[in-house]
Structure 1
Amino acid sequence: MRNNKKIALLLFLAAAPLFMQCKDSGEELEPDEENELITTVTLHFTDEASGTTSTFLFQDKDGTGGNDASQFDTIRLAPNSSYTLELEFLDESKNPTDDITGEILEEAVDHLVLITPNPSTALTYHYSDEDSNGLPLGLSGHVNTASAVSGKLKVQLRHQPGTKDGTSTPGTDDVNIDFPLIIE
């Protein structure tokens, strides 16, 4: 009988953690992989020959799933030209507006901006910034256009906490926009 009590006690002790609950602190924990709400993406193309800056905007102030974008510019660039590209990301659903660009810069090891033309021969993009690990960031870069063509320019902001390797594969999209592109 004594052995049965020992076995029962051991079984109870082994199962006890299954019935314990953690006390709720009342604080909501935010996951590391939480994506940013970005309502506005601004692209500033500065022609390296003339110094002229052209600004193109995507704006959807209520975010994905609500009303259509209130502004969705067509990017128009000159053929066979070189540009400096600077990007800005904002959350205009808040008052005052939240400038997400600074947060992306602070958390550069968790973010990657991808600039992908379609057709792929329309232009080339070269990063001019990087994170503290030497991997590209993409808030600024250099663009070289090819001959006249029309297509799309995909702007993606990848959120890659703990997984960034310089490629588009890990993480999730904070932004994924296909701007109409005309090189003429």
Structure 2
Amino acid sequence: MQPVQKSSLLFLLAVGLLAGACKKDEQNVDPTDDNEAITTATLSLTNTASATDVVTGTIENLNTSATFTNATLNLKANTTYNGSITLLDKTKTPTVDATEEIREKTNEHLFVYMYMPTGTTTSTMSVTLTDRDTNPAPGPYPVGLTTRMQTGATAGSGSMHVVLRHQPNSKDGTATPGSSDLDTSFPVVIK
């Protein structure tokens, strides 16, 4: 083989190998949208009849060994509260406000709140999500960063179970699709 033909053949072989390698690199892989890292959850409830009557519960060390020291929500019976939840990731320096990230991605998140009375108590509490995302029809769907909570007339105790569903490309207004970023309960006393 002549030197010119040999170098041309090597050049064509190299181009063929590179072209084959490029095709493999060009395969699109669906990006993963990792769950939010949350270490601290604070639920704040403001009595709609008295703006100075604010009840706050905070749970620390979520996803490790949760600390419930200041988590109990002491509420009044037959009262309406405007609620908001704040979530932090204290594993990062400085601390990351996960609430902001959820606010930026409301189309991918849904909070689920459920009051569960303890034992035979008949106390009740209803929760309405008051904020909405920007998903197109049949949306928009609720989010749950803000809420309205109404306690029943009967005193009692229980817990407010709070779950944050992470639903990229699958949010439909229900808790079913996705995975959980947060799953915790705040102790509740209704007086």
Asked if these proteins are the same fold (TM beyond 0.5), I'd say: yes
Residues 1-184 of structure 1 mapped to structure 2, 5 A cutoff: 22=24, 31-32=32-33, 34-51=34-51, 52-60=53-61, 63-65=62-64, 67-69=65-67, 71=69, 73-119=71-117, 122-133=124-135, 134-146=140-152, 147-184=154-191
For residue 49 of structure 1, what is the amino acid of its counterpart?
A
- The normalised TM-score by structure 2 is 0.76
Secondary structure, aligned partner of 1:103: helix
| Distance verdict in 2 for CA 1:110–1:135, change over 3 Å | same
| Alignment partner, residue 13 of structure 2 | none
Structure 2: tracts of 5 or more residues without a match: 1-19
Is the alpha carbon distance of 1:174 and 1:75 closer, same or farther for their aligned partners in structure 2, counting shifts above 3 Å? same
Deviation at 1:95, TM superposition (A): 1.0
Q: Distance in 2 between matches of 1:132 and 1:101?
A: 17
Give 1:69 shift: 2.6
**How far 1:181 moved relative to its partner?**
1.3
2:3 aligned partner: none
When Rg is computed on C-alpha atoms for both structures, the one with the higher figure is: 2
* Distance across 1 between alignment mates of 2:96 and 2:31: 18
* 1:22 shift after superposition: 3.8
Mind listing any 5+ residue stretches in structure 1 that lack a counterpart?
Answer: 1-18, 24-28
Deviation at 1:130?
Answer: 0.4
Distance in 2 between residues matched to 1:93 and 1:56, nearest whole Å: 20
Alpha-carbon shift at residue 180 of structure 1 (Å): 1.4
Aligned residues with identical type, % of pairs: 36
> Stretches of 4+ moved more than 2 A in 1?
19-23, 67-72
Would you say the 8 A contact 1:35–1:159 is kept in 2?
Answer: yes
Instruction: Give the whole-Å Cα distance in 1 for the aligned partners of 2:35 and 2:180.
Output: 8
Cα displacement (A) at 1:150: 0.9
Q: Aligned in 2, Cα 1:136/1:95: closer, same or farther, shift over 3 Å?
A: same
Aligned alpha-carbon RMSD (Å): 2.3
SS at match of 1:50: coil
